[in-house]
Structure 1
Amino acid sequence: MTGSRDHGPLPVLLLALTVGTGLVDAFSYLALGHVFVANMTGNVVFFGFAVGGASAISWNSALLALGCFGAGAFISGRYGSARGIHRGRLLAFTCGAQGVLVTVSATPAAFADPARRDTRLVMIALLAVPMGAQNAVVRRLAVPDLTTTVLTLTVVGLFANRTPNEVRLRRVASILSMMAGALAAGLMLRHGRLAAPLWAAAAVLAVCAVTADRLRPRETAESWG
């Protein structure tokens, strides 16, 4: 798939998902104890720290996030590999399922104590599964420079490659979207309710699901299919 392919509204929707990722990952790191549910590179490093004796990091949290993320990617990858499925329908279904799990995970954040080990582990699992699913689907959608979670290569491409302004703008937008989500989550946790970033992420997912479904052309249409 090349950058010249018609992606329809997908770039805008993926930027919205990038904001959602910033919300969820900031919440998991700040409220669930030094663990990411979307950025698995960080968890691999955290697991190494914990095994090495770092007291502030939980190896089982990092390992649980990795396993549940992988499970979500596996399930979503099998669904997304079906031939003939429209990319809009695939994104709509995935965002809808993600929204349900993120909403469920917000319940213990609102009514329980995430500092408790069992509550924390349940929330990590509930959040890592949908983020793994999102990553698998985004790979299937194949919109250049919009991974929604991993920005390392995006930053490298921004500074190392000579690219058209449109490409550079897309990369900058991806970075700023993640930053905006993380900033919003940080402010919500500081001044609002603990579950606020998850409610906000669930709302973003719901909007993306409805928008992708409404804008999806007929299954036989070639446009961004």
Structure 2
Amino acid sequence: MDTTRPTAGLAPLLALLTVATGVVEAASLLGFGPVFTGMQTGNVLFLAFGTLGEGGLSVVAPTTSLGAFVFGAVLAARVEWRLEAHRLRWMIIAMLTEAVLVCVAAAVAWDLEPVRSAPSGRHLAAIAVLSAAMGLRNVTAMRVAVPGMPTTLVTRAMTGFLSGSLIGRDPSFGTARATARRALSVASMFAGGLAGAAFVRAGFPLHVPLLVAAALALTAGLAGLRVPRVYTR
């Protein structure tokens, strides 16, 4: 099987998806929970804190997100493997599917007011759809495996960037191109979070940043049609 992996062409697409993550997480954390939909480490901690009743945190929101994330990741792993086996453009299909799911979440959240605790049924439904989409995304990003661009986390990218930069001077962290990708990943997450928070602060309904995130995923998917190869592990 051809394992050609045009990472140079993929980096801009993954940067768009990382911006979308920042926008989605801003809407989730500031409007639906607090809860994350892609960064499940935060939900594990929210669940732990909420279990002991600390911080007034709901256990329902992180539990919903974790469960939906697991469902999305498992389903994506099964489907993407089969698409790859048939030499279909599974990554493009995954990105377009994510865009559809985020649009569904935006429809569910249409005109919903932000909450700081005790999310309603519609809030939980939006959380579930978004988390399933992010589960799909994480599987897709891991299958593509572009170094330094996981699209939903920046801790490792930031560590790699600092270690491989002129400050860290550690040659084991790769080339200048890898360092640039890591910097792009961190900057993209910041830009997405900033944009999403700006929408919430300006009083836009929660469906607005979600539609923006869906548009970013759709753009990445359509742009990916121009990359000539199917991406395989």
The residue that corresponds to 1:122 in the other structure is: 125
The 1:216–1:158 alpha-carbon spacing in structure 2 relative to 1, beyond 3 Å, is closer
- Structure 1 unaligned residues grouped into runs of 5+: none
Please tell me whether residue 177 in structure 1 is matched to residue 180 in structure 2. no
- Distance apart, 1:160 and its partner CA: 2.9
Please tell me whether residue 191 in structure 1 is matched to residue 202 in structure 2. yes
- Distance apart, 1:46 and its partner CA: 0.6
The residue that corresponds to 1:24 in the other structure is: 24
- Most deviating of 93-102 and 159-168: 159-168
Please tell me whether residue 78 in structure 1 is matched to residue 78 in structure 2. yes
Once the two structures are aligned, what percentage of the paired residues are identical? 32
SS in 2 for 1:98: helix
Instruction: Describe the superposition over 1:130-179 as per-residue Cα deviations: whole angstroms up to 9, x where unpaired.
Output: 00000001111111111000111112212234243221111111001000
TM-score, normalised with respect to structure 2: 0.85
Instruction: Describe the superposition over 1:31-87 as per-residue Cα deviations: whole angstroms up to 9, x where unpaired.
Output: 012100000000011111101212421111111101101111111111222344558
The residue that corresponds to 1:143 in the other structure is: 146
The one-letter code of the counterpart of 1:125 is: A
TM-score, normalised with respect to structure 1: 0.88
Q: Aligned partners of 1:37 and 1:79: how far apart in 2? A: 21
- Structure 2 unaligned residues grouped into runs of 5+: 165-169
- Number of residue equivalences: 216
Please tell me whether residue 204 in structure 1 is matched to residue 199 in structure 2. no
The one-letter code of the counterpart of 1:206 is: L
The one-letter code of the counterpart of 1:191 is: A
The residue that corresponds to 2:64 in the other structure is: 64
Deviation beyond 6 Å, 4+ runs, structure 1: none
The one-letter code of the counterpart of 2:135 is: G
Contact 1:158 1:168 in 2 (8 A): yes
Contact 1:189 1:196 in 2 (8 A): no
- Distance apart, 1:183 and its partner CA: 0.1
- Most deviating of 186-195 and 38-47: 186-195
Contact 1:113 1:119 in 2 (8 A): no
- Most deviating of 147-156 and 17-26: 147-156
Q: Aligned partners of 2:162 and 2:139: how far apart in 1? A: 26
